[in-house]
Amino acid sequence: MNVKLLTYTPSPDWVCATAAGMCTHRGPSTRVLRAAMKSGHTSVAEHAAFTFEIRGISRVTLQQLVRHRHASYSVESQRHVTIESLTEHCVIPESFDRLGVDVRPLLAELQHTYELLMAAGVPMEDARYVLPEGACTSLVLTMNARELRHFFRLRCCNRAQWEIRALADAMLVLCRQAAPVLFERCGAPCQCGEPCPEVRGCGHPRTPETAEVPDAGD
Ligand SMILES: Cc1cc2nc3c(=O)[nH]c(=O)nc-3n(C[C@H](O)[C@H](O)[C@H](O)COP(=O)(O)OP(=O)(O)OC[C@H]3O[C@@H](n4cnc5c(N)ncnc54)[C@H](O)[C@@H]3O)c2cc1C
């Protein structure tokens, strides 16, 4: 997985602090923005947008990601882009290796079938039906800070599936660098010092620093 923050609204904290200050004629300040976030006056966070380039996530994770509706997505098309090598471009869960299950021969077989289908004249949009959910994809994603905060609350939780949690963690680190006030008290409820809302908690509350950026290089 490779996650980059491509661009964002300049001075996002200041823009949202200005919006918060406008409501009460108190002017833009960190204090006003913090108070707005704390009180739930989070619509002011809609004034800052963040655009990410995300490469190498599985279609499993894409499916979970696009359930978040207040966002814009531009996803690599399997109708126009062929997969060159499934063994290299498929997310293989760590549990497979840990339990000694090697799915690479199956992936090579699927790759072979995929190529046979296209060679036989099957359109790419049909040949893709044999590709697995683990197949990698890439996308550009834009969310505003309000939706990002909501996304982090759900997806940084230990109860979220590991791949989307890793993605959310990486995005949160990048957002905090760009807008430290908007994202300072943010993440899973336990990361914000709040009680766990889960019926059955994981028993391992996270700290605000738990998030890491996996493979933030090129
Ligand atoms: C741990 C976990 C397990 C999950 N398991 C499943 C599962 O088994 N099956 C499954 O189908 N999904 C599952 N989901 C997905 C989940 O149900 C949501 O679809 C997803 O998390 C998106 O969140 P959201 O609806 O808050 O959405 P967003 O689209 O991010 O919306 C943000 C907020 O906007 C408001 N909103 C958006 N659209 C509407 C609307 N049409 N009407 C009213 N209010 C709206 C809501 O307040 C919403 O919370 C799971 C999610 C998590 C985190």
How many whole angstroms from 124 Cα to the centroid of ligand 1?
32
Lowest mean pLDDT among 43-47, 50-54, 133-137, 211-215: 211-215
Instruction: From 159, 153, 160, 152, select the one nearest 202 (Cα to Cα).
Output: 159
Task: Please identify which of the residues 128, 146, 149, 155 carries the catalytic annotation.
Answer: 155
Instruction: For helices 30-39 and 12-24, give the axis angle rounded to 10 degrees.
Output: 80
216: confidence class by pLDDT, cuts 50, 70, 90: very low
* Protein residue whose Cα sits closest to atom 28 of ligand 1: 68
Whether domain 2-74+137-210 has CATH 2.90.10.10? no
Best of 64, 144, 155, 163 for a ligand 1 pocket test (most atoms within 8 Å of beta carbon): 64
Q: Which of 57, 54, 59 is nearest to 128 (CA)?
A: 59
Model confidence at 211: pLDDT above 60: no
E strands, 102-168, are 136-144
Q: Is 135 helix (H, G, I), strand (E, B) or coil?
A: strand
- Does the pLDDT at position 26 exceed 90? no
Choose one of 146, 149, 150 to mutate for the ligand 1 pocket test, by most ligand atoms within 8 angstroms of C-beta. 150
User: Which residue's CA lies nearest to atom 38 of ligand 1?
Assistant: 69
Residue 164 identity (one-letter amino acid): I
User: Looking at ligand 1, which residue's alpha carbon is closest to its atom 17?
Assistant: 67
Is 153 among the catalytic positions?
no
The protein residue with its alpha carbon nearest to ligand 1, atom 6, reads: 64
CA 4 to centroid of ligand 1, rounded, Å? 24
φ, ψ of residue 10 in degrees (nearest 5): -60, 145
63 Cα to the center of ligand 1, angstroms: 12
* Boundaries of every domain in the chain: 2-74+137-210, 79-130
Q: What is the pLDDT of residue 23?
A: 86
- Cα-to-centroid distance, 47 and ligand 1 (Å): 22
Does position 27 have pLDDT exceeding 90, yes or no?
A: no
19 Cα to the center of ligand 1, angstroms:
27
Residue 40 has pLDDT above 60, yes or no: yes
Give pLDDT, residue 28: 78
Q: Which of 92, 82, 101 is nearest to 58 (CA)?
A: 92
Looking at residue 218, its pLDDT comes to: 34
Q: Can you list the positions of beta strands (E) in the chain?
A: 2-8, 49-58, 71-75, 136-144
136-144 and 71-75 beta bridge pairing: antiparallel
Q: State the number of CA atoms in the 13 A half-sphere of 11 facing the CB.
A: 8
Q: Give the model confidence (pLDDT) of 60-98 as tens digits.
A: 999 999 999 999 999 999 999 999 999 999 999 999 999
According to the model, what pLDDT value does residue 128 have? Answer: 96
Q: What is the DSSP string of 63-110?
A: HHHTT--SEEEEE--TTT---S-TTTSB---HHHHHTT---HHHHHHH
